[in-house]
Chains A and B, each alone.
Chain A
Amino acid sequence: MRKEVIYSLSSPYREEMKVTAYRFGHGKKAACIVGSIRGNEVQQLYVCSQLIKKLTELEASGAIVSGNEITVIPSVSHHSMNIGKRFWAVDNTDVNRMFPGYDLGETTQRIAAGVFEEVKNYDYGIQFASFYMPGDFIPHVRMMDTGKQSASLASLFGLPYVVIRKPRPIDTTTLNYNWQVWDTNAFSIYTNETDEVDEASARQAVAAVLRFLTRMGILRYHNHSGYIATVIAEEELRQIKTNVGGIYRRLKHPGEEVHMGDVLAEILHPFEGEVLSQIIAPTEGIIFFAHKKPLVTENEVIYKIIRRLHE
């Protein structure tokens, strides 16, 4: 394992911010793994730390196939993370909306450019990402539909689902999108948590990356075969919205099977406690996403369901 500072930025009052890369093996740029880009992505940081620990052991035992280099960048966002902010500490801009970056531009464009210069030109790019809606998911691999994505490669992670998303204008400045534009096969991995550490889904994420690297001939490692992934387009997910605001009582969780008519959640009057609304499953399927915070507004998307298709 070689440790290298790939980007640094001096701060007016704090210590210099350094972005560190951990490199394993020598040879062609085989795979690059990026952890936390936003300051609240603690789970993503944790997953990377566990992956670096595991890859260090594997490298010592000669398990990295010669001619391959694997790079892991556990954090780009610790300057924000250390002070409890999600976005860039000074101007609240999102580094994951600044790719491919611009080295003569504004601060977060410079950070993105510095990082992108190091992470591009790999065969495979893997990011542990987070979503802007507050809630949790079934662990899955997400890809942007750029015409260059390969869902069959994504299924080699052995996570239960692969979701393909049509990029919207705001997606064109993410790391995942720009990796693909620069001919890297890019995957975003979502686990259950973001702000908190979830051991079980972190283990699953580490196992998924090791499985993928093994299947691509970069690692020699004995893996369980994982799931046979179901590939779904994001627009096929059935979204369920609230019709009132109030206190949210979640009854069904990500991964659970539901039948049409099942009560997924209740929304309670915030003062009087009575049930104002029952959120009913409009279809049979599996819960893919569920809102988590204890309060909800009207018109919020609180569930996404993978519809079961009857052949």
Chain B
Amino acid sequence: MIETVSAMELPVEEHLRIRKHRVLPLHPTGKEKRICVVTGTHGDELEGQFVCYELLRRLKAQPEYVKGIVDVYPALNPLGIDSISRGVPMFDLDMNRIFPGTEEGPMMETLAKHIVDDMAGADMCVDIHASNIFLMEMPQVRINEETAEKLVPYGKMINVDFVWVHSNATVLESTLAYSLNKIGVPTLVVEMGVGMRITKAYGYQLVAGLLNLMKELGIWEGEVEQVKEPIVSSDRAVGYLNAEKAGIFLPMVEIGDMVETGDELGQILNPLTGDVEEVIEAPIAGMVFTRREYPVVYSGSLLGRILGGKEDREEEMA
């Protein structure tokens, strides 16, 4: 059944309405576990839209295997998705910087509070992001080191290529995931694909992972595929590729490629002079898991990330 989580009246004959689809078992006992699958916080990230559709399609096809409550929230920022805007239109606001929200605050903070209240008490939440329009990401789970012990085991169930445990930054304490973890709802952040596009293969991969996670939680009893054993990044180095020169970036590697230190990964070109402004080389050996898709770059623009081996991290620590 489709429910409204929160609705706010807009100035002229419309409501900003956050909706979810709740799937219940055929014969509820009242003791079911609950999982929230949520996406669309950033209006330019669309990979999660296909995941929501495909997950619901599978659950509806075999309702007899649903043994728990599945809440699917395809669009936390419906105005943004509808108008190709990453933030919340009118406010120039990153919606993932206002959680947990407050009833006393401005409209969007009130809305954030309603969303958190609705998810409170769930046994699991998966928040699906799709990078941004600039970068393509290999399917990965990102976990704050504060919650790594609890969340890494779940991260291994969800069929991603790797699990990135990163250090805490105060500014990230305003995210939905941080706020939910804080109130005891284990929340995994998935990053995959690229903004404004849907990568179907990644969608199928994550749906398989969600079903596997739901099976582990006792929410799904249907068949599941064998999931990937992800690389966990906590003991590995991550190499960043940032542009030094402005221009047009053309990559020479694909996501998932293994590279050696010093390999040429791309070039920054100058279309006015016909010169190569900069040759981008791999700072470490490893696997390319982030790659820039949007060609126009400034100094500082992120061009890619490489997941190094265990030895690199040991060297880094020494």
Return B133 CB to nearest CB of chain A, in Å: 9
Residues from 99 to 148 in A contacting B, C-beta threshold 8 Å? 104-110, 132-133
Chain B residues with CB under 8 A of A296? 11
At the interface, yes or no: B300 with Cβ under 8 Å from chain A?
Answer: yes
A106 pairs with B246, CB closer than 8 A: no
A169 pairs with B106, CB closer than 8 A: no
Residues from 75 to 106 in A contacting B, C-beta threshold 8 Å? 86-87, 90-92, 97, 104-106
Chain A residues with CB under 8 A of B91? 132
Known interface pairs A91-B134, A239-B104. Does A132 touch B299 (Cβ–Cβ under 8 Å)? no
CB-nearest residue of chain A to B240 = A104
Return B136 CB to nearest CB of chain A, in Å: 15
Chain A residues with CB under 8 A of B246? 9-12
Mask for A232-263, Cβ within 8 A of B = 1, else 0? 00000001000011110000000000000000
Q: Which of A90, A169, A247 has most B Cβ within 10 Å?
A: A169
At the interface, yes or no: B10 with Cβ under 8 Å from chain A?
Answer: yes
A169 pairs with B170, CB closer than 8 A: yes
A297 pairs with B296, CB closer than 8 A: no
At the interface, yes or no: A280 with Cβ under 8 Å from chain B?
Answer: no
Residues from 101 to 115 in B contacting A, C-beta threshold 8 Å? 104-107, 110-111
B248 pairs with A12, CB closer than 8 A: yes
Known interface pairs A106-B301, A170-B174. Does A299 touch B107 (Cβ–Cβ under 8 Å)? yes
Tell me which of A86, A109, A170, A295 contacts B11 (CB under 8 A).
A295
CB-nearest residue of chain B to A93 = B94
A10 pairs with B86, CB closer than 8 A: no
CB-nearest residue of chain B to A97 = B171
At the interface, yes or no: B297 with Cβ under 8 Å from chain A?
Answer: yes
Return A246 CB to nearest CB of chain B, in Å: 6
A12 pairs with B107, CB closer than 8 A: no
Chain B residues with CB under 8 A of A245? 8-12
Return B262 CB to nearest CB of chain A, in Å: 19
Return A98 CB to nearest CB of chain B, in Å: 10
At the interface, yes or no: A6 with Cβ under 8 Å from chain B?
Answer: no
Chain A residues with CB under 8 A of B16? 297
B242 pairs with A170, CB closer than 8 A: no
Chain B residues with CB under 8 A of A2? none
CB-nearest residue of chain B to A17 = B298
A interface SS class: loop
Q: Number of contact residues on B: which range applies?
A: 35 or more
At the interface, yes or no: A298 with Cβ under 8 Å from chain B?
Answer: yes
Distance of A245 Cα from B12 Cα, bound (Å): 7
Residues from 60 to 110 in B contacting A, C-beta threshold 8 Å? 86-87, 91-93, 97, 104-107, 110
Known interface pairs A132-B93, A299-B107. Does A107 touch B171 (Cβ–Cβ under 8 Å)? no
A10 pairs with B106, CB closer than 8 A: no
B171 pairs with A170, CB closer than 8 A: yes
Tell me which of A10, A168, A173, A270 contacts B299 (CB under 8 A).
A10
Known interface pairs A297-B11, A301-B106. Does A110 touch B299 (Cβ–Cβ under 8 Å)? yes
Chain B residues with CB under 8 A of A298? 8-10, 107
CB-nearest residue of chain B to A104 = B242
Distance of A15 Cα from B128 Cα, bound (Å): 39
A105 pairs with B93, CB closer than 8 A: no
A12 pairs with B9, CB closer than 8 A: no
Chain B residues with CB under 8 A of A133? 106
**Which residues from chain A sit less than 8 Å from chain B, CB to CB?**
9-12, 86-87, 90-92, 97, 104-110, 132-133, 168-170, 172-173, 239, 244-247, 270-271, 295-301
Selected A-B contacts with CB under 8 Å, 8 pairs = A12-B296, A12-B297, A12-B298, A105-B242, A169-B171, A245-B10, A298-B10, A299-B110
Minimum-distance CB pairs A-B, first 6: A107-B300, A295-B11, A245-B9, A298-B9, A169-B173, A110-B300
Beyond A91-B132, A97-B171, list 6 extra A-B contacts (CB 8 Å).
Answer: A10-B299, A11-B246, A12-B246, A106-B302, A247-B11, A299-B106
**Which residues from chain B sit less than 8 Å from chain A, CB to CB?**
8-13, 16, 86-87, 91-93, 97, 104-107, 110-111, 132, 134, 170-174, 240, 242, 245-248, 296-302
